[in-house]
A and B are shown apart, each in its own frame.
Chain A
């Protein structure tokens, strides 16, 4: 398997922002990596505020999400540019890793970028941490991290979450679940299959930064987003991630 090693990684700690901004900036950073002649990948660490639900590229907003309830409780709704399922973004650390050098095989590329997540979790003291294809990392069989990727013009973006805490009851207030009986069963199912790491955002952020560096690069360039990236993100919110056409396109 191709294991790219980079001279350095551009690290962005962009704090907590709303879902539209978070998704727009991820896409803008793909363009930045594309424009970077030195093949430097970008690692972005971030959170979500206010609480948001992102749906996968191929999902239907109205079919998957209780839109009315989300509106009433101030939960933002946004479509990702990546596939996969709906995610409640509340108590978690999110990362995105954007690179021009990656294995062309999709499974291998997921595995490669999930490796630092495994290292991070092991360093946080967890045992029996493993990659669960295609796109999860599990601890003792329970999902702790879900990931999704896209490839555009030779650039790969993978973003994913490490759950800090899990609130299955809240999760099912934002999803469309047909019957109360099924809801209880699904909540029990999530409690059995999913877990949070029960650490702070900053603790996990520091561990993940270290793990990515250990895996891929000799040094980390701690950076800020540029004024151009800020302005491009605002533009992309207006034209894409903040629009009904994009978020309700399926």
Chain B
């Protein structure tokens, strides 16, 4: 399992802390845990927990992540980033792994 931290500057700053299982020849990387932090605004606030929970167990693959983020955004109001920038922030972790755990 790998641990990664990536910072992406959208209108506001997005920080993603990610733990994921590495890709194998037969399977994409899988998200084991994710924490999204930053100086953005989300209404209702609690919905970010729901997004994080729903990403666990999901493939760390751009289209899969983007689709999930877009689905979440349709039920929340966000100021400070859009689906594209949050997807980039999450996928950025893939090339920024810090530690193997």
Asked if A84 CB lies within 8 Å of chain B CBs, one says: yes
The residue on B at minimum CB distance from A83 is B41
A134 touches B39 (CB 8 A): no
Residues of A within 8 A of B41 (CB): 82-84, 134-135, 148
CA distance A60 to B17 in the complex (A): 10
B42 touches A83 (CB 8 A): yes
Partner of B39, one of A81, A86, A106, A151: A86
The number of residues on chain A lying at the interface, defined by a beta carbon within 8 Å of a beta carbon of chain B, is 19
* Most chain B CB atoms below 10 A, which of A81, A84, A106, A135: A84
Interface SS of chain A: loop
Q: How many Å from the CB of A83 to the closest CB on chain B? A: 4
Residues of B within 8 A of A250 (CB): 35, 37
Question: Chain B contact residues (Cβ within 8 angstroms of A): what range?
Answer: 10 to 19
CB 8 Å contact bits of A126-163 with B (1 = contact, 0 = none): 00000000110000000000001011000000000000
The residue on A at minimum CB distance from B38 is A58
CB 8 Å contact bits of A78-108 with B (1 = contact, 0 = none): 0001111110000000000000000000100
Interface residues of A, Cβ cutoff 8 Å to B: 56-60, 63, 81-86, 106, 134-135, 148, 150-151, 250
Interface residues of B, Cβ cutoff 8 Å to A: 12, 15, 17, 35-45, 48, 77, 79
